[in-house]
């Protein structure tokens, strides 16, 4: 685990010559600077500066037109503060390199609340004020793909040399075929203090899911997810493959989900969701109600891209209805079975393409509103939620953007600065997609209509 003093670690690893200082933008992408390691004191001491606007650029890295953070303020710099996470080795780099995670402050030192990590901190602090600590675990799915094709294709097995061609769920053989890759991922996670736990072969060809162990620190859980995605992509390149966390890379195969499990413990370490029964406590049900009531307006944070909405189609192993249930994987909010002492909530809406800081902010923020207001949920769903008449998530990207813009509960969870930045970012991305015509549209309509 990376828990020791950064300067001590660097003295013990003199081969490291380069540090990457990075912030996480609204799209969950890392942006930063490459700095010689002899300037590490400057990095750890808050001496690195970046434009505040860099955290709000669109998915292509372009400035947002009309943003107050660009021309109206002269594209002013903010300060990059060390998050305290540690010096993180990038074992997939060509030369010994480390990453130093940062987050943004204003010039005067006040937190910049447009930073998605700051949003999660605000919600976490609200739980602390109630004497509660969220205990969080994440599950991330991804596909390994052939890096030499324009469209995603399953990779070749390192053992047989043959391209994967079946949806071999829970396949032990597939795990063994990619054992070198998976072993390197787990080694890199161990070096960075990412608590990777178990891995399964998922529904799609070349699809895997890696689960994280529960941690009593939402910021760390989100850090782990962000770092994990970067690690998997880096290790995949090292092995001659590519990895994608795209929500729906194949139209006819399962999408990539980002499931979040959480419980709440009080100041004495007791799980406040546990009352010794399968049903759980009133607090659990209030939290569920908060998740359901805020789900539609926060969908943009769970499904932030055009492609995200292909995953949320009914019957596609992803939730499309605003519903909850006990031990039911067809609903958006599931209460797993098992020992009551481990009673928890699983939120199943987000895709693996979402920003982990925003996902956890929306989930924990929504649950908190339910607890504070003692909201009561509708009855839990039994059976297949896909074929029942239930309230639905926004069906498309534009509707989700508008729901986030107008949502009364969004303003109770997110600072107005971040809400405005995310809306402007997504509107700009949507406008670009609207100007592009797909090959399938040409094939269907060009000489037909």
Domain layout of the chain by residue ranges: 6-112, 122-414
274, pLDDT greater than 60 = yes
User: What is the pLDDT, as a whole number, of residue 234?
Assistant: 96
* pTM given for the model: 0.95
User: What is the pLDDT, as a whole number, of residue 175?
Assistant: 81
Share of the chain above pLDDT 70, in %: 97
Taking residues 314-326, report their average pLDDT.
Answer: 87
List, in sequence order, the alpha helices (H) in 21-171: 40-44, 116-129
- H/E element, 77: strand 77-82
Any idea which of 161-175, 250-264, 338-352, 380-394 has the lowest mean pLDDT?
161-175
CA–CA dist 329, 304 (Å, integer): 22
315, pLDDT greater than 50 = yes
User: What is the pLDDT, as a whole number, of residue 174?
Assistant: 76
Q: What is the pLDDT of residues 322-354, one digit of tens each?
A: 999 999 999 999 999 999 999 999 999 999 999
119, pLDDT greater than 60 = yes
CB atoms within 10 A of CB 202: 24
Taking residues 282-305, report their average pLDDT.
Answer: 98
Taking residues 49-66, report their average pLDDT.
Answer: 95
Provide the 3-class DSSP secondary structure of residue 219.
Answer: helix
User: What is the pLDDT, as a whole number, of residue 1?
Assistant: 41
- The CATH-assigned architecture of domain 6-112 is Roll (3.10)
- The string of DSSP letters for 13-45 reads -TT--EEEEEEE-TTS-EEEEEEEGGGHHHHHT
Confidence grade of residue 162 (pLDDT, cut at 50, 70, 90):
confident
CA–CA dist 185, 196 (Å, integer): 9
DSSP assignment, residue 64?
P
Q: How far is CA 368 from the centre of its chain?
A: 19
Taking residues 413-437, report their average pLDDT.
Answer: 97
Residue ranges of E strands in 267-339: 324-326, 333-335
Taking residues 309-320, report their average pLDDT.
Answer: 84
Between residues 173 and 350, the one the model is more confident about: 350
Pairing of strands 258-265, 345-347: antiparallel
CA–CA dist 364, 290 (Å, integer): 9
* Statement: 122-414 belongs to CATH 3.40.1390.10: no
Mean per-residue pLDDT of the chain: 93
155, pLDDT greater than 50 = yes
CA–CA dist 425, 394 (Å, integer): 18
Taking residues 91-115, report their average pLDDT.
Answer: 94
Taking residues 200-228, report their average pLDDT.
Answer: 92
Taking residues 181-209, report their average pLDDT.
Answer: 90
Confidence grade of residue 201 (pLDDT, cut at 50, 70, 90):
confident
Any idea which of 202-216, 242-256, 274-288, 432-446 has the lowest mean pLDDT?
202-216
286, pLDDT greater than 80 = yes
Q: Indicate if the alpha-carbon torsion angle 283, 284, 289, 295 is positive or negative.
A: positive
CB atoms within 10 A of CB 150: 5
User: What is the pLDDT, as a whole number, of residue 325?
Assistant: 97
Spell out the residues 6+ positions from residue 268 whose beta carbon is closer than 8 angstroms to its own.
Answer: none
Taking residues 400-409, report their average pLDDT.
Answer: 98
Confidence grade of residue 202 (pLDDT, cut at 50, 70, 90):
confident
184, pLDDT greater than 90 = yes
């Amino acid at each position: 685990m990376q828990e020791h003093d950064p300067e001590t670690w660097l003295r013990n690893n003199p081969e490291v010559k380069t540090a990457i200082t990075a912030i996480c933008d609204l799209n969950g992408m890392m942006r930063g600077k490459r700095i010689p390691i002899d300037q590490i004191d400057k990095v750890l001491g808050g001496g690195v500066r970046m434009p505040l606007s860099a955290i709000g650029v669109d998915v292509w890295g372009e400035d947002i037109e009309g943003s107050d953070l660009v021309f109206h303020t002269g594209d002013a710099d903010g300060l990059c503060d060390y998050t305290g996470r540690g010096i993180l080795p990038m074992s997939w780099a060509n030369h010994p390199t480390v990453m130093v995670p940062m987050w943004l402050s204003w010039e005067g030192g006040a937190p910049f609340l447009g930073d998605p990590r700051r949003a999660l901190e605000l919600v976490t602090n609200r739980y602390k004020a109630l004497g509660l600590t969220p205990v969080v675990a994440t599950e991330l799915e991804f596909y390994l793909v052939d890096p030499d094709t324009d469209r995603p294709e399953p990779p070749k097995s390192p053992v047989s040399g043959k391209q994967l061609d079946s949806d071999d769920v829970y396949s032990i053989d597939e795990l063994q075929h990619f054992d070198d890759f998976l072993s390197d991922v787990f080694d890199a996670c161990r070096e960075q203090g990412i608590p990777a736990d178990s891995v399964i072969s998922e529904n799609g060809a070349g699809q895997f899911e890696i689960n994280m162990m529960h941690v009593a620190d939402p910021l760390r859980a989100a850090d782990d997810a962000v770092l994990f995605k970067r690690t998997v992509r880096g290790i995949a390149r090292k092995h001659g493959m590519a990895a994608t966390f795209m929500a729906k890379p194949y139209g006819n195969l399962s999408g990539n989900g980002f499931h979040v499990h959480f419980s709440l413990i009080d100041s004495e370490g007791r799980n406040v969701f546990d009352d010794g029964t399968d049903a759980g406590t009133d607090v659990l049900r209030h939290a569920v109600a908060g998740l359901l009531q805020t789900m539609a307006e926060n969908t943009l944070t769970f499904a932030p891209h055009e492609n995200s909405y292909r995953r949320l189609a009914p019957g596609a192993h992803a939730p499309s209805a605003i519903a909850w249930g006990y031990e039911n994987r067809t609903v958006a909010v599931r209460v797993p079975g098992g020992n009551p002492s481990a009673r928890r909530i699983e939120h199943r809406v987000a895709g693996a393409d979402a920003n982990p800081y925003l996902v956890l902010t929306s989930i924990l923020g929504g649950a908190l509103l339910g607890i504070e207001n003692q909201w009561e949920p509708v009855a839990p769903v039994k059976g297949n939620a896909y074929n029942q008449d239930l309230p639905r998530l926004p069906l498309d990207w534009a509707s989700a953007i508008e729901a986030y813009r107008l949502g009364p509960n969004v303003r109770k969870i997110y600072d107005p600065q971040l809400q405005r930045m995310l809306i402007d970012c997504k509107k700009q991305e949507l406008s670009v997609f609207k100007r592009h015509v797909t090959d399938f549209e040409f094939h269907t309509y060009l000489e037909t209509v």
